[in-house]
Amino acid sequence: MTKAPPPRRPDLHVATEGEFKGWRTWIRDSFESHVGPFWHRIEADGSVRSAFRVEKKHLNGSGNVHGGCYMAFADYSLFAIATHVLDSRAVTTNFACEFLDAAREGELIECTGEVSRAGGSLIFLRGKMMSGERLLLTFSGTIKRMKRKAPPQPNA
């Protein structure tokens, strides 16, 4: 069963050229824009795939992808994987990962995963990060849906 794509969001950018033509990214998160770019797309079967191409800026002093970059991409992927069940702003409340292998400049890194459970306010997810057939990282996390707060009143 395929699921309908998420509603159009003004912060969702779709690439019109290059390696990731047709893939999506969020542009409101300046940190992800700085360390990425990270991309995601909804596959024909409704699953979500995230990806990025390793650049020099993603490397640590040993020439491997920095662990913090892995974690930032996995966190981005949590939200991409939750696309079908996430209809408002949310935050990561828990994140765990296992580093399994290193990646180098030029490699295409991809994440896939699944929603384990989506409740009223919490969404539980798990995923894996690959380079080709090589498993690089496994991860799990919890996302909390945020209630919209009224803007603060001046002089309140």
pLDDT in tens, 138-153: 999 999 998 776 667 7
- The dihedral formed by the CA atoms of 147, 78, 63 and 103, expressed in degrees to the nearest 10: 180
Question: Which residue bears the tokens 């909390």?
Answer: 144
Residue 7 counted as domain residue:
no
Beta bridge partners of 98: 138
Is 50 exceeded by the pLDDT of residue 6? no
Q: pLDDT tens, 27-85? A: 777 777 778 889 999 999 999 999 999 999 999 999 999 999 999 999 999 999 998 99
Beta bridge partners of 95: 141
Is 80 exceeded by the pLDDT of residue 7? no
Residue 2 counted as domain residue:
no
Chain CA centroid to CA 139, Å: 12
pLDDT category of residue 5 using cuts at 50, 70 and 90: very low
Residue 127 counted as domain residue:
yes
Q: Look up the CATH number of the domain holding residue 109.
A: 3.10.129.10
Residue 154 counted as domain residue:
no
Please count the structural domains in the chain. Answer: 1
Residue 24 counted as domain residue:
yes
Residue 156 counted as domain residue:
no
pLDDT category of residue 1 using cuts at 50, 70 and 90: very low
Residue 52 counted as domain residue:
yes
Q: What angle do CA 143, 90, 4 make, to 5 degrees?
A: 90
Beta bridge partners of 92: 143
Residue range(s) defining the domain that contains residue 65: 12-145
Q: pLDDT tens, 9-20? A: 557 888 889 899
User: By C-alpha distance, which of 33, 1, 123, 111 is closest to 13?
Assistant: 33
In angstroms, the CA 38 to CA 72 distance is: 9
DSSP string, 98-138: EE----BTT-EEEEEEEEEEE-SSEEEEEEEEEETTEEEEE
Check residue 11 and give its pLDDT: 72
pTM of the predicted structure, to 2 decimals: 0.85
- Report the relative pairing of strands 134-145 and 90-99 from DSSP bridges: antiparallel
Residue 4 counted as domain residue:
no
